[in-house]
Amino acid sequence: MSYETLLVEIRDSVGLITLNRPDRLNAINYQMSVDLEAVLAEFAADGQVRSVILTGAGRAFCAGADIKEMVDPAARLLPIYRHYNFFNRLADFEKPVLAAVNGACNGGGLELALCCDFRLAADTASFGLGEVKLGVIPAGGGTIRLPRLIGAGRAKEFMYFGNRVDAGEAERIGLVNRVVPLEHLMPEVRSWAAELAERPPLSLKMLKSCVDLGLEMDLTGALDYEKRCAEVLFGTDDRQEGMRAFVEKRKPVFKGR
């Protein structure tokens, strides 16, 4: 797989996507939005890929939208106008996705991270949604996903002022799951991804669906949906393998069936 704005590799059932515009702090341009949609489609169809890591090349995770492209009248319109589906594609991706935030994570970059299931950050990382300072608002789901993660009050403070926070504060308010030294970031994220790759894919899919869709439902509807997902899983080969391995005191081998 070769992409103009991404580096992509698959190793030990883990797909790694590296945003690769380091000279622009990995800012999202039109081509990157196209490439992200394409690689997500490839990973979704590849049964060998069990979990995915998203990170950035160089000293930034992603600085957000490429403002230079946005103000260039000769440039193709940015995803905000005609190609913003990749945010939802990432959020709805059925396999676990981990953001390895290696540096600056701002604007659309933070919105990318919010679409991931987990966010692990280097202690040198920083986070912000500063769109208000440009006379616009986050438009990649930030106004919706951030309040669901850290609460409405903190999210409004984050977006109304548009200021950045460091990794320690991001962990304190629940924006990231874990903060580690920069040199430990990828080993830590790969450890998480490798363990998730060993979990039953159908169970992970159902868990993600129950949590994400459950947040949009009333309590009764969410509980009913959870029950129906559990019933589906009870009839799978993976359920039989998991319980048989437990009884036999061995490590299960899940096939996603």
Catalytically active residues are: 111, 131
Q: DSSP assignment, residue 109?
A: H
The CA distance from 201 to 95, in Å, is 7
The first and second tokens of residue 115, run together, are 């679409």
**DSSP type of residue 24:** G
Q: Which residue has the tokens 């709805």?
A: 92
Helix axes 152-161, 142-150, angle to 10 degrees: 130
Residues 79 and 76: their CA atoms lie apart, in Å, by 9
Token couple for 129: 């949604």
C-beta separation of 206 from 233 below 8 A: yes
Alpha-helical regions (H) of the chain: 30-45, 67-71, 79-82, 85-91, 108-114, 142-150, 152-161, 167-172, 182-197, 201-214, 219-234, 237-248
Nearest CA to 36 among 114, 103, 112, 146? Answer: 112
Say how far apart CA 129 and CA 108 lie, in whole Å: 8
DSSP class of residue 75 equals: S
